[in-house]
Amino acid sequence: MSLLHIMILIPFIFAIFVPLLYKFFNPRIHTGWFVLIIPVIIFIYLIRFIPGISSGETMYHSMAWMPSFGINFDAYVDGLGLVFGLLITGIGALVILYSIYYMSKEREALHNFYVYLLMFMGAMLGVVFSDNILVLYVFWELTSISSFLLIAYWYQREKSRYGAQKSMLITIFGGLAMLSGFIMLSMMTDTYSIREMFTQINVITEHHLFLPAMILILLGAFTKSAQFPFSIWLPDAMEAPTPISAYLHSATMVKAGIYLVARMTPIFGGSSEWFWLVSGIGLITLLYGSINAVRQTDLKGLLAYSTISQLGLIMSLLGIGSAALYFGYGREADLYVVAITASIFHMINHSTFKGSLFMVVGIIDHETGTRDIRRLGGLMTIMPISFTIAVIGSFAMAGLPPFNGFISKEMFFTSVLEASKLTEFNMETFGILFPVIAWVASVFTFIYSMILVFKTFRGKYKPEKLEKKAHEAPIGMLISPIILASLVVIIFFFPNIIADYLLKPAVASVLPSLAEGGIIDMKISAWHGWNTELFMTIGVVVLGGLMYMYLKKWVGIYRLYPQNMTLNQLYNSGLDHAQGWSKSLTDGYMTGYIRDYIAYLFGFFILFIGGTLLVTQSITLDFSNNAPVNVFEGALVLAMMTAAVTVLFAKTRLTAIIALGVLGYLVSMFFVIFRAPDLALTQLVVETVTTALFLLCFYHLPKFKEHTKRVPLKPLNLVISIGVGIIVTLFAFSANGTRLFDPIASYYEDAYELAGAKNIVNSILVDFRGIDTMLEIFVLCIAGLGVYTMIKLGLDRREK
């Protein structure tokens, strides 16, 4: 196991000890101080990779897991994985520091909170550093499980449970679809390694499973990154504590889908289907999120829809940038490399300004007792530091200078303008929609950014509507957002530091074929002259400013949209119908009667086994090699049939038990005839014990009641019983008459030399299946102890 593997697994390992630390040190020391050490250590460890990764190196370490199945824990670090790893641990450290002051050590179950948080952190690291797609999937689903637990942290609240359930259902659905796509990829390439798949791109693109695998993998990415129409889970996930929202929904979990699309771009990029699906869904999500953010009255709801919008922007850039793989080399490819660069750059920028905004909203909620914009106002002078951070974060989100969001937003405008000029992929027809949608969405982005700042911090202070007397947060709660807000400004003035050391190797990971040609080179600057992109920004500010000023005059238009046609209503009604159908179905077969359950099992047995025999034409009746049946064996069969029929028509339990015992003893006679004395002896012992147990149990049951009329014959039971008998008989005859493989008996020919056993049955039970037999004995011992305990407790209770 390498140090990289340890860094990925250490959050899971440390999570085991968090409850103990909470038990022995809380409330003297906040549990978060212990947890903070983990992301800081991993962040420092990952920083060591930056020089090597920026010079074109990659790190690869393998650890055997299930090598016989080709499944190993292969950890792989390249430019793309490193960027995500630094975000996961860097933002994670700041969130934990923030949570120390946000989460009360007296009132909150901190051990649960930090266990779930560490599980999520480790799962995200596993996702971004796994080269094996099946291992990646395991970590992927761990992010869904841990995020479910985090969202439902305040499980006493109905909304928290509802939001957690919604996120789980949607993301797990996408994860299962993604797994199907991964399996298709492995079928096409005969490997589970993503790096090895990159070497077989021609094989994948020409395969008939190319499009189904692409769609299934994109389902996983779109559900996790809240792309339209799966974005409905993200606003309801805001019921989680604010540190969770700042971590999961601005920097990590929702970026997992972004990572997956970026990682799969070398395989699927360059195709028109990938271009349209990724860029088209991204732009629709961008517009949908920005329009809905304006109507929100809850600050976290506004940030939720703004996150959806920004994720759509990043996704659309990845789709547009994938066209670079279509062109390969030349000026056209260079233009679309800008889109990939912008996507990763904006992802970093979004993590900084959105993380700081979530923390500021948490501070407002913590210090005023509300997040309702209608009850807030006039906080600028009361909370000046929070106001400053909010201005920096909101203006960066709106794409204004001198903040990092301005640069990546200008690169976004450049990318959509270039995409509109594309003649490939049928863009000459719909290409004009790209810059139009981008510009309209940017106008709404500007509006909701202004709402966040000015509706909250300007205007009249309303202390009568607040649950607490407003005041500035303690310095400990401000440290993390101050750091993030500082990065927003620093990145604007020094963007090429990130470009040289992080963006360039990350883009090379997304476009490896272009990186090999040496054409990936970038120089990021905030000023490009009076170009179209700048005029688009000016238009956004002018129109957005006017619309914000007259917001009250047109915001009522949102109420015209029928609420019964929303995606949330569709989800809720679908879930209600599914629950109703499942209840009806369950009530239909869960009758409470064992005879019905047996009928279902045997009916399925008849349909499945019998249908398989018929469809595959496997019914073979070959009696040529059978030994002759003598008179004595025939007499035994008739006697067994007589005993079985007697059990059915017996009028007393004693008669039925004796007939059943006779049937068992007759079976043992067959073992004697077939020269299996051990089996015969076992059968005799078991039959004697079970008959005695039946007699003991039935002794305590009430006597048979005399029926005034015979119990009517049930045709269905008769059909099932005869059907099972026929199927088992046909199956046995077909198995006897068909030889697909060499008899297994040859495997035991050397039993005497290998095991020293003269009896083949003993040899199988004791040597060849020794562990199995030992476990069976162990199970019997446990059952015996359980029975003894129940009897002992019953006797003790009677004595008392």
233-269 pLDDT per residue, tens: 999 988 889 999 889 877 678 889 999 999 999 999 8
Give the pLDDT mean for 503-530: 78
CA distance 137 to 65: 15
pLDDT at 716: 82
* Residue bearing tokens 């996120």: 167
Confidence label for 519 from pLDDT (cuts 50, 70 and 90)? low
**Residues whose CB falls within 8 Å of the CB of residue 546, separated by 6 or more in sequence, listed in order:** none
Give the pLDDT mean for 33-57: 93
Phi, psi of 563 (to 5 degrees): -70, -25
pLDDT at 799: 61
29-43, 101-115, 463-477, 506-520: least confidently modelled range: 506-520
Does 800 score more than 70 pLDDT?
no
Does 327 score more than 80 pLDDT?
no
The string of DSSP codes covering 66-131 is EGGGTEEEEEEE-HHHHHHHHHHHHHHHHHHHHHHHHS-TTTS-HHHHHHHHHHHHHHHHHHHHB-
Cβ atoms of residues 444 and 374 within 8 Å: no
Residue 578, amino acid: A
**C-alpha radius of gyration, the chain, whole number:** 35
Q: What share of the chain is helix, strand, coil (3-state, %, to 5)?
A: 75, 0, 20
Count of other CB atoms within 10 angstroms of residue 647: 15
Cβ atoms of residues 185 and 213 within 8 Å: yes
CA distance 69 to 183: 13
The secondary structure element, H or E, covering residue 376 is: none
Give the pLDDT mean for 442-463: 92
Confidence label for 521 from pLDDT (cuts 50, 70 and 90)? low
* Residue bearing tokens 């009896």: 759
Q: Angle between the 79-102 and 253-268 helix axes, to the nearest 10 degrees?
A: 170
Count of other CB atoms within 10 angstroms of residue 253: 29
Phi, psi of 661 (to 5 degrees): -65, -40
Eight-class DSSP state of 714: -
Eight-class DSSP state of 270: T
171-180, 559-568, 741-750: least confidently modelled range: 741-750
Token pair of 500 as six digits: 């040289």
Does 596 score more than 60 pLDDT?
yes
- Predicted confidence (pLDDT) per residue in 163-183, tens digit: 999 999 999 999 999 999 999
Give me the chain's average pLDDT, please. Answer: 88
Token pair of 499 as six digits: 């470009």
Confidence label for 650 from pLDDT (cuts 50, 70 and 90)? confident
pLDDT at 708: 46
pTM: 0.81
Give the pLDDT mean for 29-46: 94
Cβ atoms of residues 113 and 132 within 8 Å: no
Phi, psi of 738 (to 5 degrees): -125, 130
**Residues whose CB falls within 8 Å of the CB of residue 636, separated by 6 or more in sequence, listed in order:** 666, 669, 670, 673
Count of other CB atoms within 10 angstroms of residue 602: 16
The secondary structure element, H or E, covering residue 63 is: strand 59-66
Cβ atoms of residues 384 and 347 within 8 Å: no
Give the pLDDT mean for 28-36: 92
pLDDT at 520: 64
Count of other CB atoms within 10 angstroms of residue 411: 20
CA distance 662 to 393: 85
Category of 632 on φ-ψ map: left (φ > 0), alpha (ψ -120 to 50) or beta:
alpha
Does 764 score more than 80 pLDDT?
no
pLDDT at 10: 95
Confidence label for 328 from pLDDT (cuts 50, 70 and 90)? low
What is the percent of the chain where pLDDT is above 70? 95
Give the pLDDT mean for 319-335: 73
Name the nearest CA neighbour of 409 among 471, 316, 523. 316
Q: How far is CA 268 from the centre of its chain?
A: 22
Tell which wins on pLDDT, 547 or 670.
547
| C-alpha separations of 35 from 10, 92, 723 in Å | 11, 10, 63
Does 331 score more than 80 pLDDT?
no
- Predicted confidence (pLDDT) per residue in 665-715, tens digit: 998 988 888 877 877 888 898 889 888 888 888 777 776 665 545 556 678
Sign of dihedral through CA atoms 560, 565, 567, 570? positive
212-221, 402-411, 668-677: least confidently modelled range: 668-677
CA distance 255 to 85: 11
Does 508 score more than 80 pLDDT?
yes
pLDDT at 714: 76
Helices (runs of H) and strands (runs of E) counted in the chain: 38, 2
Token pair of 162 as six digits: 């509802």
Give the pLDDT mean for 462-485: 90
Confidence label for 204 from pLDDT (cuts 50, 70 and 90)? very high
